[in-house]
Amino acid sequence: MLVALADHEDLMVRRSVALNPRTPDAVVERFVDDIEVRAPYLGAPGAPTFVEPLSWQRRGHAERLIAEDCDAAMLPEPRSALEVAGVLVRAHATSEKVHVASSTVPLEPTFVEGILVRDEAPQVRRSLAGSVYASDRQRSRLADDSDESVRASVARYTCDASVLERLARDPSAQVRGECVHNPIAATGVLRALVARVPNHELAYIAQHSEASADLLADLAGSGSSHTREAVAANGRTPVYSLDALAKAPEVEVRRAVAGNSSASPEALATMVADRSDDVRRLVAAHRSTPGAALETLSLESDFEICLLVALHPRSTPGALKRLSRDGRAAIRQAVALHPSAPEVLWTDLVRDADAGVRELARRHMRSSPTERRRVAADESTPADTLAALAADSAVAVREALASNRRTPVDALVTLSKDADQGVRGLLGGRSGLPRAALEHLAHDPVWRIRRAARKRLR
């Protein structure tokens, strides 16, 4: 089949045949003199990636092509992909050296440091600075390059903290700006850059994963709304800064606070009366929003806000009662699904005019904590159902699961980390615990549970 396809009229088919390691050597030999087919062999990184997986005989074909196109036929025959790249570096034009400098093939330090680092074309040196295979030593040399674009490439990609600290004080704004985008930039570097980069770069500092709480607190007072928005969205921003930003005049900043998982209940309560619908929706969805704030939001007419309140685990019985009388069936269905809805609400909802609400209310009543506890204690309950009950909100359900001899291993490991001491105590007193569960219990804060687990681990 491959022999027949070697004469196919489609050039891409012939190239695929040439690259197939199962193609007979005689067919590959025919392609060596076909300039259209051999084109993918030429240049880097195509040449090294083509050469490396082939047999020595096929490798020789590719190397010969490269040597011919480099006018380097008189050089000794290269014996490896790295030497092929070396031929390209020494003989090809700048564009080819750029490809080699940014190659995904590890490069020989001898010709990297002897040729690429010293190449007169800045684009070659810039490509080398951004290569995944450039060493810290090579980037350190390029950090002193006369061309600012080369130093900027080093600033973005270096993994050497000392080089980055040096470049953070570089006279070039371009170089300093690239330091901001380097993921290893420590707080000291970022703090040094605050006074040396333009205002639009401060937002990137505020977004940086290494920005410290103190630095973020300082940036919270920035005159740039974009910077304050970035600070408000950063999960490492101190609570007191988020509390202040919750009252910012810019809606973008307040919206970022409302969407920050670290926002305090106080800040969220402040934004309950925000004039922006988007901000109030984010408050209604936030896991830390207090019950009183959710009760206030339940008075809203906005469908999305009411639905989020009906689904929120902190919604109060008062909020749920109010929403159970909402004229929209989807809101009442959400109330029927709420695990903390009072039994009296379910009693009302089973007589609801909407069939979906009635069905959900009946289903929820059947899955009350008392019923779930019975299911968790039943040894005939399917394993997947028992595994799901390990995350049940009712302690009595998890206690029943801890005593069930048929509880699956994964559920037992989960229960060994349970927040309730009674659940862990029941678990520690049963036989057949997996080692992973015992290892967790061996570090339990309760000494009786800890001692029993360690004794069984011996």
Average pLDDT over residues 11-20: 72
Question: What's the farthest any 2 CA atoms get from each other in the chain?
Answer: 94
Average pLDDT over residues 144-162: 88
**Confidence band for 74, pLDDT divided at 50, 70 and 90:** very low
Average pLDDT over residues 122-147: 82
Average pLDDT over residues 66-71: 42
Q: For residue range 378-408, what is the model confidence (pLDDT) as tens digits?
A: 888 778 778 878 888 889 889 999 999 999 9
Cα(304)–Cα(284) distance, integer angstroms = 9
Rg (CA), the chain: 33
pLDDT at 339: 77
Structure-model confidence comparison of residues 331 and 79, the more confident one: 331
Q: What is the mean pLDDT of the chain?
A: 79
Average pLDDT over residues 202-227: 88
Those residues whose C-beta lies under 8 Å from the C-beta of residue 340, and which sit 6 or more positions away, are 313, 315, 317, 320
What does pTM read for this prediction?
0.56
pLDDT at 54 over 50: no
pLDDT at 73: 32
pLDDT at 252 over 80: yes
If we measure between CA atoms, which residue out of 162, 214, 201 comes closest to residue 184? 162
CB count in 10 Å sphere of residue 132: 9
HSE-CB at 12 with a 13 A cutoff on CA atoms is 0
If we measure between CA atoms, which residue out of 116, 125, 165, 127 comes closest to residue 145? 125
**Confidence band for 452, pLDDT divided at 50, 70 and 90:** confident
